[in-house]
Amino acid sequence: MKTEKTIALVAHDNRKKDLAEWVKWNSENLIKHKMVCTGTTGIMIEKILNEKNMNPKKGNIKIKKLKSGPLGGDQQLGAMIAEGKIDIIIFFWDPMEPQPHDVDVKALLRISVLYNIPIANNRSTADFIISSHLFEGKYFPILKDYSQYLKRNTI
């Protein structure tokens, strides 16, 4: 993991306000990194960061925006994880509301664990990640070798 991280920011509808507040609070740290968002979360985050960006010489902050989660954004993000393109995930999901794409959310959480990606599902964990000394430096996650599972499941 390089010094400049690629951070995925995702929020279910009932948690978008929480993520917006967190991004505002942490904007100075976040703008040093690349960001990827699903759906309308990306539009919201880009607007927040550009409102906070007081230096017109820097230009607008651009965020890679994927599709909405229910329309495949979670799967796009999962593919980026598998390709080694995501370093950290901040995913404020709503534990009280069933989602039409719950299986995609579960798959995203599974692939994050499989590839040892730090993932915050609530504000406290997101605060710990962004305030860690590892956030600004190089970090080399240890990946588990899952090849034994492939051998067991082949014909």
Q: Concatenate the DSSP letters of all residues of 128-153 into one string.
A: HHHHSHHHHS---PPPP--HHHHHHT
CA neighbours within 13 Å on the CB side: how many for 11? 22
> Is 74 an active-site residue?
yes
Closest residue by Cα to residue 19 from 44, 38, 36: 44
Kindly name the residue from 13, 18, 74, 127 that is annotated as catalytic. Answer: 74
Helix (H) or strand (E) holding 107: helix 102-114
Contacts of 45-51 with C-beta under 8 Å, sequence gap 24+, read 45/9, 45/19, 45/20, 48/20, 48/23, 48/24, 49/23
Residue 44: CB atoms within 10 A of its CB come to 19
The tokens describing 130, both together, are: 């962004």
Which residues are known to be catalytic?
74
